[in-house]
Structure 1
Amino acid sequence: MSVWVLYAGVVLIWGTTWYAIELQLGVVAPVISLLYRVALATVCLFLYALVTRSPLRLSWRNHLWVALQGVLLFSVNYWLIYLGSQYLTSGLVAVLFTMLVHLNLVNARIFFGQPVEPRIVVAATAGVLGVALLFLPEILAAAGDATVLRGAALVLGATFLASLGNMAALRNTSHGLPVVTVNAWGMGYGTISVAVVAGVTGARFDFDSTWSYVGSLLYLAIAGSALAFGLYLALIRRIGAARAAYTSVLIPAVALTVSTVLEGYRWTVPAVAGLLVLLAGNALALPRPARGRGGSATMRG
């Protein structure tokens, strides 16, 4: 599967999960909805591994690393985002989460000694600027609100944990661990950690049987978790954590496109400018096409 297909798959799936998450809110406590999501994704991943006869055995050391990835990337960071979203608009959450690109650049340098490419720094900065322009009205409306600082701290904490989860994923993929194996066990460990959070917080186990809730839950579990994380980890293996994280700045643009169709979102001049900046940064972030033997295009970087 080419880099472009992996990249587009991650952006399109996670760009549409924003709307699906909105359909989850209401009757069921957010942490319980998240628990249903990761538990169902775990079942799907283990079934897929069994059907495809993917190896499921891991050494105890690799189990520890996969558990770390699962807790950081599949569960705790999502929980903090849910908490932060109580104080922030979705636009502000999107702007803050784009810092994942910068954090991945720094952490990949610290933990793996990977060089920081100036081109990627420029692309990451352009991405943050583009998302800020997309959600400029929401940012201005939130100025001076004391609760914004609390929400921002939670979302930035989630972003930092997600970056550490990316580093664990980079370690696991660089050691040749199969993506399906890592995702299945990682999602399982993530389910356990979310269940612990639900128990500690005393969340009530309710369920909403409406089509909108069940349908969005299935989409989030199967596409948004089981499939998308598989594509994302494959992307990390192919182009590195910094470039893979750039999906986080293009995803809000897809989410706004969905909102335009389903929720009547109206585009403004700053929003259009932000989208153009995002696309420019995206072109910088992705690996450059190079000509291989026989004139066929290959990807490098």
Structure 2
Amino acid sequence: MSEAAGHPPPHALLRPRIAIPFVLVALIWGSTWYVITGQIAEVPPSWSITYRFALATPAMFALATIMRQPLAMTWRGHALALLIGLTQFCGNFNFVYRAEQHLTSGVVAVMFGMLMVPNALLGWWWLGQKVTRRFLLGSAIAIAGIALLLVHEANVARLGGNVLLGVALAVGGIMSASISNVAQAGRVGRAQPIVTLLAFSMLYGTLIDAAIAWALAGPPVIPSSASFWSGTAWLALAGSVVTFPLYYGIIRAIGPGRTAYNGVLVIVVAMLISTLIEGFQWSLLAIAGATLGTLGMIIALRARQV
């Protein structure tokens, strides 16, 4: 990505129109990892995901209407929305929710910090966005930090179930999210209003989620607890309707590679929330990992091309 192509300079993240959404998304998504653990305790994961996006979809259409974004899209736009629905709002979340049945939410959150790698590589292959040495250096440092955080989580967490399956599911979620991130940043995606594209993507994703849920878990399981539905509302409205338009807007502004560094901040926020709510104990590994991850993010975000 270059300035000549009309993209922002390396310090674009410091601009309020990018910095504010960047931080807001990290704060909200940092909280969702903890909330998800309560969602999979009461109902099958697929139905929990279906409820989340069944609530988020009409809210996203309402947001598009309020913002006066046209609801009409070309067939190419709908084809892209179907791809995003399949990868982001179905594949990604089905993989993630199931991964948390085998790994702690902290481990899965930390693994998602690696989203920068497939985002950058797919952006280079699919969109022709260059990857510089500075970005690679920052990514290497950040991955080293993520590795330390993973070691820390593995040392302190009680990992149950099939750990290897959990890791494989988390990787599936990362790849699904990356495909969606890069696909919407292409020519067809940029031609669509962001909120409209997301509304139809969520609609298609919800329908696929419901079909998968019925096939794997049978008829809908309706939980009665207020905590489940309040968590669902937070995930649907704050964790989806508020954040995805902001996140996709950042991708279009600074590219999928640098935008994925939002995941590093998400990890730090998630760990801070865990410290306040769950009594998370910081170790030298955790401090070193968070420091390296943040340092790598800063180096990569200052790269001129990603």
For the criterion TM > 0.5, the same-fold answer is yes
Trace 1:78-157 onto structure 2 (pairs within 5 A): 78-140=93-155, 147-157=162-172
Aligned to 1:17: 32
Moved more, 69-78 or 94-103: 94-103
How far apart, CA to CA, are the structure 1 residues paired with 2:177 and 2:190? 20
Correspondence 1:285 to 2:297: no
Write the letter of the residue equivalent to 1:97.
Answer: F
Aligned to 1:188: 203
Correspondence 1:247 to 2:262: yes
Q: Is the 8 A contact 1:41 1:221 kept in 2?
A: yes
How far apart, CA to CA, are the structure 1 residues paired with 2:226 and 2:158? 37
Aligned to 2:10: none
Give the drift of 1:11.
0.7
Aligned to 2:285: 270
Correspondence 1:260 to 2:275: yes
Helix, strand or coil at the partner of 2:185:
helix
Structure 2 unaligned blocks of 5 or more: 1-15
Moved more, 235-244 or 199-208: 199-208
Aligned to 1:220: 235
How far apart, CA to CA, are the structure 2 residues paired with 1:205 and 1:144? 29
Helix, strand or coil at the partner of 1:55:
coil
How far apart, CA to CA, are the structure 2 residues paired with 1:69 and 1:168? 8
Kindly tell me: are residues 172 and 29 of structure 1, through their superposed partners in 2, closer, same or farther at Cα, counting changes over 3 Å? farther
Structure 1 unaligned blocks of 5 or more: 289-298
Give the drift of 1:188.
0.7
Moved more, 7-16 or 86-95: 86-95
How far apart, CA to CA, are the structure 2 residues paired with 1:183 and 1:300? 27
Kindly tell me: are residues 217 and 227 of structure 1, through their superposed partners in 2, closer, same or farther at Cα, counting changes over 3 Å? same
Moved more, 167-176 or 214-223: 167-176
Give the drift of 1:10.
1.3
Write the letter of the residue equivalent to 2:195.
Answer: V
**For the aligned residues, what is the CA RMSD?**
2.4
How far apart, CA to CA, are the structure 1 residues paired with 2:83 and 2:213? 19
How far apart, CA to CA, are the structure 2 residues paired with 1:213 and 1:34? 12
Task: Give TM-score, length-normalised by structure 1.
Answer: 0.89
Aligned to 1:293: none
Kindly tell me: are residues 277 and 209 of structure 1, through their superposed partners in 2, closer, same or farther at Cα, counting changes over 3 Å? same
Kindly tell me: are residues 58 and 198 of structure 1, through their superposed partners in 2, closer, same or farther at Cα, counting changes over 3 Å? same
Helix, strand or coil at the partner of 2:42:
coil
Q: Is the 8 A contact 1:101 1:245 kept in 2?
A: yes
How far apart, CA to CA, are the structure 1 residues paired with 2:105 and 2:297? 21
Correspondence 1:205 to 2:205: no
Give the drift of 1:132.
2.6
Moved more, 83-92 or 178-187: 83-92
Residue in structure 1 matching 2:64, options 35, 43, 49: 49
Aligned to 2:19: 4
How far apart, CA to CA, are the structure 2 residues paired with 1:72 and 1:96? 18
How far apart, CA to CA, are the structure 2 residues paired with 1:3 and 1:36? 31
Q: Is the 8 A contact 2:88 2:177 kept in 1?
A: yes
Give the drift of 1:250.
2.1
Q: Is the 8 A contact 1:34 1:194 kept in 2?
A: yes
Residue in structure 2 matching 1:61, options 76, 79, 100: 76
Moved more, 17-26 or 130-139: 130-139
* CA shift digits 1:107-159 (9 cap, x unpaired): 11111111112222222222222223234233347899993222222211221
Residue in structure 2 matching 1:75, options 67, 90, 93: 90
Identical counterparts, % of pairs: 36
Write the letter of the residue equivalent to 2:20.
Answer: V
Helix, strand or coil at the partner of 2:40:
coil
Write the letter of the residue equivalent to 1:4.
Answer: A
Q: Is the 8 A contact 1:167 1:241 kept in 2?
A: yes
Moved more, 124-133 or 179-188: 124-133
